[in-house]
Amino acid sequence: MTAPVLPGWEHVYSGKVRDLYRPAAPHPDGDVVLVVASDRISAYDHVLPTPIPGKGEVLTRLSLWWFEQLADIVPSHVVSLDVPDAVVGRAMVCRRLEMFPVECVARGYLTGSGLVEYREGQAVCGVPLPPGLGEASRLPEPIFTPASKAEIGDHDENITFEAVAERLGRERAAGLRDLTLRIYARAAEVAARSGIIVADTKLEFGLGPGGDVVLGDEVLTPDSSRFWPADGYAPGRVQPSFDKQFVRDWLTSPESGWDRVSPPPALPDDVVQRTRERYLEAADRLVG
């Protein structure tokens, strides 16, 4: 599943899910990149060999909608949807940003790597928390739990606010933390109207040409966030979620026979279909 050849654009980079292009000739909108969301799916830091049809479109539709919901808080990198025919619906022309080398994560609930850390030291990324919390507990208030951006194949690592301040300066770090928490608060409020809990979310910011902080990448998709159905929310157990749960469950089942080290196996059809439906359901519930 290589990046498509697109007229007028030169491929420059492929992450696990997105392909980035730069204009082959000066672009009327200036310093831009084309961000194309593929149907690739990753789990446990591996890109799987089987795509989820329509996933790139869902991610793009959701991101565009969220950028609008957040527009009064932070500018987004989106410039236009004037993209090559082959990628219509799953590509955006964006301002090219100098991305900060930090994933800005906000958590309102405890699960995943947050819960693991909490159990080790009653804190997440240096933020102390009260005793007695467990799987899917709602936190007293949302917290900023940044992670370092890993190279492809590596695991993103939780870091403290102090570590972000060391890298980017204290003022910048505080700015990103405040922005992340404001965006999370808005997202939680908006998603609640659709009966969805945003347990946590990962944001990526960059500097625009004028030195302004801009929200980049994708936002508040099932890939970057944990969405839980609000009805049936019950702390103390793992929540069902609108994401890769089927994929993760299957990959870790004996049926897949996967050791988490060698290249992952192809997904069976029913796992692909059910995952596709989960992504679509999340988008339909939110965007309507």
The binding site for ligand ATP (CB under 6 A) comprises: 15-18, 20, 33, 35, 77, 94-97, 99, 149, 204, 206, 216-217
Q: What is the largest CA-CA distance in the chain?
A: 58
Output 123 or 207, the one with its CB closest to ligand ATP. 207
Query: Smallest distance from the beta carbon of 149 to ligand ATP, in angstroms?
Result: 5
**Distance of alpha carbon 155 from alpha carbon 157, whole angstroms:** 6
Hey, is 232 helix, strand or coil? coil
Q: Which residue has the tokens 């007229």?
A: 7
Query: Smallest distance from the beta carbon of 62 to ligand ATP, in angstroms?
Result: 14
- Backbone φ and ψ for 217, nearest 5 degrees, come out as 60, -140
Strands, E assignment, the chain: 9-14, 18-23, 32-37, 42-43, 46-47, 78-80, 91-95, 98-99, 102-109, 123-124, 127-128, 138-144, 147-148, 157-158, 196-203, 205-207, 213-215, 225-229
Output 77 or 177, the one with its CB closest to ligand ATP. 77
Count CB-CB contacts under 10 A for residue 167.
15
**Distance of alpha carbon 213 from alpha carbon 197, whole angstroms:** 27
Output 239 or 244, the one with its CB closest to ligand ATP. 244
Output 45 or 249, the one with its CB closest to ligand ATP. 45
Output 39 or 136, the one with its CB closest to ligand ATP. 39
Query: Smallest distance from the beta carbon of 135 to ligand ATP, in angstroms?
Result: 26
**Buried/exposed 91-121: b ≥16 CB within 10 Å, e otherwise:** bbbbbbbebbebbbbbbbbbbebbbebbeee
Query: Smallest distance from the beta carbon of 172 to ligand ATP, in angstroms?
Result: 17
Query: Smallest distance from the beta carbon of 131 to ligand ATP, in angstroms?
Result: 34
Output 129 or 202, the one with its CB closest to ligand ATP. 202
Query: Smallest distance from the beta carbon of 115 to ligand ATP, in angstroms?
Result: 22
Which residue of the chain is nearest ligand ATP when measured via CB?
A: 15
**Distance of alpha carbon 278 from alpha carbon 58, whole angstroms:** 10
Output 217 or 243, the one with its CB closest to ligand ATP. 217
The residues, any chain, with a CB within 8 Å of residue 204's CB and separated by 6 or more, are 99, 100, 103, 104, 215, 216, 217
Q: CA 234, 240, 243, 249: dihedral to nearest 10 degrees? A: 140
Output 199 or 215, the one with its CB closest to ligand ATP. 215
Query: Smallest distance from the beta carbon of 97 to ligand ATP, in angstroms?
Result: 4
Query: Smallest distance from the beta carbon of 152 to ligand ATP, in angstroms?
Result: 6
